[in-house]
Structure formats: structure tokens, C-alpha cells
């Protein structure tokens, strides 16, 4: 295939990477703004100047348009739109999901997309609504996979083809679809038909659907979350391993008078301030924006800048190894997002397999932090500590004169658990910032002591702690000797 994807840095399942389409290169994670040629609130050259290196448009609109079809065929899509970056085209599947029917066949749209010079071509897949019953979902998935196979035959093995992953809300079907796309050698895989989940804030289901698709897909595939355009959920999606987003939201929200922020959207009518540092918001007051004849365009420009900025912030977070902190922050913007975050934490064991070993920091941000990959990974390493027959785990500082009656003395840092003094400066112990200890943190740390005992059967473990923690330690670790200080 003429699409290749290289992973550069990883954090959780998120990654920074380089998507290469022919000779064009895109840094990921990336956002592809949606362009509607009939009413461009922001023109493609303007998008480019704001930092968008790729965009997506709908081939079906060009195909059906008296105004745009001929020029696109004659001059090519890039010339018509005035954009020399990567242009991905959707096939008409979106119209199929909204209107139930399209006047184009799979081979028609594939050949048309190729004729207008699309950089990434999408077959006419069936976007199965997440509330569709299983038998119909299965039938539609068969058609989608058949059309993908047909696309390979029509366009040839080197075509820049996207392989949409369908399967409705059934995790096993999503996984199967991902596996089949991987077996067919597809390197660019949009996860489709998730917009209804996002529109109704069903983030918990979204997490299960995406994680299932990821389980089937090779980790080297570039994953596009089709139709995801609200910046509030990008960090969560990237943490699951989504690399690309497309946003019509910047324009749709603008038309409804809504102002995007990274923690939700607000009605411009209700704002007395514009809490943003973009050029639009610095040059206008909320009142001026409301009264401007250019209101929708100004809003769209602000919305797109906020969206692109969040993508940059996420790339930096991955580079710094602080993506969990960003996910935690964003997901507290809405209770349903928090549910999504908690659902993602149930995959911590899988996520830990790709998560990086060392990070810049671990900020404790409440109960959810106890379930993070770093805690799980650390506790999986604890059984390998080599200890003598008599072990002391102390919640306090190491006594200056040592503790001669014990063979091994370990310190304790919740939520991780016991650690030898040699690990004091290394990640995560050395980079973990805690507020005052709380019960949840200490209970999780006790799980670490339990891992130590499980890995060293026969050793005698004593825990030395203050009276405030004695009850928890006694309850969590009935097998240890408790020494109060
Ligand atoms: Zn702004």
C-alpha cells in the first residue's frame, strides 16, 4: 500500500507517529477538518495557515454536484480546493447512514475518488448504527468487508485505501473486523459509525467498541476515529490508540452559535467573556462576536483553532509521558466522560503492555489514579524483589541506624506499595507526586505488599505504620505482623 505509518513515541495506547501517503507526510495524532465545498466557513488555504496539514471532504458531494464534479475531474481535488496537503475523501457512507440510500455504487465511488486525485480513498462501507440488532449488524459487516475486498481488486494492491472497521456495538464483531482488515494488509483503518455514541454521550460504550477494534487490529495500523470532532474527548480517544480525527464539529457548532472549549461547548449567547487566547477571542469581546455579521465564521475559526490546539497539546503530553494526567483532566468535564475514563481503566492490564516504562511524572489525581497502568505494572514487578527471610515494610522514613533485626527493609509509597531504597529516584516512585495519603491510596499500596508476599512465600513480613493506618493494614493484610509507631 502507498500508505505507511511509523510510530515514534508511545504513552498508554497513544502514540505520536508519521503517516506517509505517497510523498506527503502527516504528524499524528492529527485532525482533519471537514470541508464542504458548497459552504466553506473556513477555506482550505486558511485551514492550512492554522496548522491543518490534512483535510477530509466528501466525494459524494463532488460526485453529485453540477458545480464541482467536472472541475474536480478535470483539475483534480487539490487544485479545486486550493490545498496541497493530504486530502482524504469519504465515499457517501455518511449520506447512507443519514438517508438510508445513496445513488452510487462501491466501484463508482472508488473510481471517482481515484479520478479526482484523492490521497486516501474510502470504500462504500455500511455504517451500522450502534442500536442495530446483532443479525443485521453481522450481515452489514459481511457487505462492508466484501466491498473492502472488492476495492482492493478494483484499485490494486498499492492503492491508498482506508479499511473502515464496522460491527455496531458488538465488541466481538469489531474485533473480528479489525483482525480481517489487518490480515488484508490494511494500514489505515477508520473506526466507523461511532457518531451516534458520541452524540448521546455514550462514552463507556465507545471505549468498549474502540478497545475491541484495537484488539483485532495490528498495533502498527493508523486508526482514525470517524466523525470525532469535539476536543473534549480527543485525549481519551488517543489514549485508546486513535491517531486521527475529522472535525465537522467546528462548523456545525458555529452554525448553532456554540463556542467550543476543551471542557465542553458553551452558547455564545450566554457568554460575557471569551475564555480563550486565540486571535479571534483576543480581538473581539463576546458582545462584539455576537453582533458581528461574521459571527458564524468567527466562531468557526475559534472552534477550529481550539480543536487543533488540543491535538498539539496531546502530542506534547505523549512526548512527556503525561497522557493519563490529560485524560483525567478532560474526562472530569462530564460525568459520562468520567464513565468512559473508568471503562478505559478496566483495560489497564492490556494498556500496560504497550505503555512506556519511564515517564516524566505521576500526579495523583484521586481514586482513578490507583487503577492506572503505572500502578499495575509496578505491582507486577514487586514479586521479583529479592528479600531475606525477615522483611520490614515501613510507612515512615528509613531509620538512620538501620533496623538490624530485619534482613530486608523496604519503604512504602502508596498507591504503588513497598520499594527498596535503590528505587527511590526512579520512575514511578521518584516521580510520583502525592497529596496527603488517603484510604484508597493506602489500600492499593497494601495490594503491593500482598504481591511481595505472593512472590516470596515463606518470608515473614512486618508492617510498621502509624495508628491512622493500622486498621486498614490489619484488614487488608491479616497475614502480616503489625508494628505501630
Ligand atoms: Zn478563541
8 A C-beta contact, residue 68 and residue 79: no
pLDDT given for residue 39 in this prediction: 84
Confidence of residue 92 (pLDDT cuts 50, 70, 90): confident
User: In the predicted model, what is the mean pLDDT of the chain?
Assistant: 95
For residue 305, the CA-to-ligand 1 centroid distance in Å is 7
The per-residue pLDDT for range 429-454, each reduced to its tens digit, is: 999 999 999 999 999 999 999 999 99
Distance CA 243, CA 193 (A): 17
Handedness of CA 298, 300, 301, 303 (dihedral sign): positive
The per-residue pLDDT for range 333-379, each reduced to its tens digit, is: 999 999 999 999 999 999 999 999 999 999 999 999 999 999 999 99
In sequence order, which residues have a C-beta less than 8 Å from that of residue 178 and are 6 or more positions away? 165, 189, 212, 213, 214, 215, 216, 217
Catalytic site residue from 11, 53, 90, 355: 90
Which three-class secondary structure state does DSSP give residue 433?
strand
Helix (H) or strand (E) holding 16, with range, is: strand 14-21
Distance CA 71, CA 118 (A): 14
Distance CA 162, CA 349 (A): 30
Q: What is the largest CA-CA distance in the chain?
A: 89
For residue 304, the CA-to-ligand 1 centroid distance in Å is 9
Distance CA 225, CA 130 (A): 15
For residue 283, the CA-to-ligand 1 centroid distance in Å is 9
Q: What are phi and psi of 404, to 5 degrees?
A: -60, -25
Region 237-250: mean pLDDT is: 96
Of 339, 347, 418, whose CA–CA distance to 378 is shortest?
418
For the chain, list the domains and their CATH numbers: 3-353 (3.20.20.105), 360-484 (no CATH)
Burial class (CB in 10 A: 0-12, 13-18, 19+), 478: exposed
Confidence of residue 93 (pLDDT cuts 50, 70, 90): confident
pLDDT given for residue 300 in this prediction: 97
Confidence of residue 151 (pLDDT cuts 50, 70, 90): very high
The per-residue pLDDT for range 72-86, each reduced to its tens digit, is: 999 999 999 999 999
Cell output for 344: 478505559
Confidence of residue 401 (pLDDT cuts 50, 70, 90): confident
Confidence of residue 298 (pLDDT cuts 50, 70, 90): very high
Region 236-264: mean pLDDT is: 96
Q: Which of 145-154, 394-403, 410-419 has the lowest mean pLDDT?
A: 394-403
For residue 259, the CA-to-ligand 1 centroid distance in Å is 8
Burial class (CB in 10 A: 0-12, 13-18, 19+), 98: exposed
- Flag whether pLDDT at 100 surpasses 80: no
Burial class (CB in 10 A: 0-12, 13-18, 19+), 299: buried
8 A C-beta contact, residue 160 and residue 119: yes
Cell output for 2: 502507498
Confidence of residue 210 (pLDDT cuts 50, 70, 90): very high
The per-residue pLDDT for range 19-59, each reduced to its tens digit, is: 999 999 999 999 999 999 998 899 999 999 999 999 999 99
- Flag whether pLDDT at 1 surpasses 70: no
What is the model's pTM? 0.96
For residue 277, the CA-to-ligand 1 centroid distance in Å is 6
Neighbours of 209 (CB within 10 A): 26
In sequence order, which residues have a C-beta less than 8 Å from that of residue 43 and are 6 or more positions away? 82
Region 167-175: mean pLDDT is: 98
Say whether 90 is catalytic: yes
Amino acid at each position: 500500500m502507498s500508505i505507511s505509518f511509523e510510530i515514534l513515541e508511545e504513552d498508554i495506547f497513544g502514540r505520536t507517529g508519521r503517516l506517509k501517503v505517497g510523498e506527503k507526510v502527516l504528524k499524528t495524532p492529527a485532525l482533519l477538518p471537514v470541508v464542504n465545498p458548497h459552504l466553506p466557513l473556513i477555506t482550505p488555504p486558511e485551514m492550512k495557515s492554522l496548522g491543518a496539514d490534512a483535510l477530509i471532504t466528501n466525494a459524494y458531494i463532488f460526485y453529485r454536484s453540477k458545480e464541482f464534479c467536472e472541475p474536480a475531474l478535470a483539475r483534480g481535488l487539490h487544485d479545486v480546493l486550493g490545498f496541497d496537503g493530504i486530502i482524504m475523501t469519504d465515499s457517501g457512507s455518511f449520506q447512507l447512514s443519514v438517508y438510508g440510500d445513496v445513488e452510487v455504487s462501491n466501484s463508482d465511488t472508488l473510481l471517482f475518488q481515484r479520478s479526482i486525485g484523492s490521497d486516501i480513498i474510502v470504500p462504500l462501507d455500511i455504517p451500522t448504527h450502534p442500536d442495530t440488532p446483532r443479525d443485521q449488524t453481522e450481515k452489514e459487516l459481511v457487505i462492508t468487508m466484501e466491498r473492502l475486498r472488492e476495492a482492493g481488486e478494483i484499485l490494486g494492491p498499492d492503492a491508498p485505501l482506508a479499511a473502515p472497521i464496522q460491527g455496531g456495538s458488538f465488541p466481538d464483531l469489531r474485533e473480528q473486523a479489525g483482525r480481517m482488515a489487518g490480515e488484508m494488509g490494511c494500514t489505515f483503518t477508520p473506526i466507523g459509525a461511532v457518531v451516534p455514541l458520541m452524540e448521546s454521550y455514550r462514552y463507556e460504550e465507545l471505549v468498549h467498541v474502540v478497545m475491541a477494534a484495537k484488539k483485532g487490529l495490528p498495533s502498527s495500523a493508523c486508526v482514525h476515529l470517524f466523525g470525532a470532532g469535539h476536543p473534549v474527548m480527543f485525549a481519551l480517544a488517543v489514549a485508546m490508540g486513535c491517531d486521527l480525527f475529522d472535525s465537522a464539529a467546528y462548523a456545525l457548532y458555529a452554525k448553532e452559535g456554540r463556542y467550543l472549549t476543551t471542557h465542553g461547548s458553551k452558547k455564545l449567547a450566554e457568554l460575557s467573556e471569551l475564555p480563550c487566547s486565540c486571535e479571534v477571542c483576543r480581538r473581539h469581546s463576546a458582545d462584539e462576536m455576537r453582533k458581528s455579521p461574521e459571527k458564524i465564521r468567527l466562531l468557526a475559526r475559534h472552534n477550529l483553532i481550539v480543536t487543533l490546539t488540543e491535538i498539539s497539546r496531546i502530542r506534547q503530553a505523549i512526548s512527556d509521558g503525561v497522557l493519563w494526567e490529560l485524560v483525567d483532566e478532560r474526562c472530569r468535564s462530564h460525568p459520562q466522560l468520567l464513565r468512559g475514563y473508568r471503562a478505559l481503566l478496566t483495560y489497564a492490564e492490556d494498556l500496560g503492555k504497550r505503555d512506556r516504562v519511564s515517564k516524566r511524572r505521576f500526579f495523583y489525581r484521586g481514586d482513578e489514579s490507583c487503577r492506572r497502568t503505572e500502578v499495575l505494572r509496578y505491582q507486577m514487578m514487586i514479586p521479583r524483589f529479592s528479600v531475606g527471610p525477615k522483611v520490614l515494610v515501613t510507612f515512615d522514613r528509613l531509620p538512620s541506624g538501620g533496623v538490624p533485626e530485619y534482613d530486608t527493609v523496604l519503604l512504602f509509597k502508596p498507591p504503588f506499595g513497598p520499594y527498596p531504597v535503590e528505587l527511590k529516584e526512579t520512575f514511578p516512585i521518584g516521580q510520583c507526586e502525592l497529596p496527603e495519603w488517603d484510604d484508597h491510596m493506602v489500600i492499593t499500596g497494601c495490594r503491593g505488599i500482598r504481591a511481595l508476599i505472593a512472590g516470596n512465600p515463606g518470608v515473614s513480613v512486618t508492617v510498621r505504620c502509624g495508628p491512622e493506618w493500622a486498621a486498614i493494614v490489619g484488614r487488608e493484610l491479616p497475614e502480616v505482623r503489625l508494628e505501630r509507631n
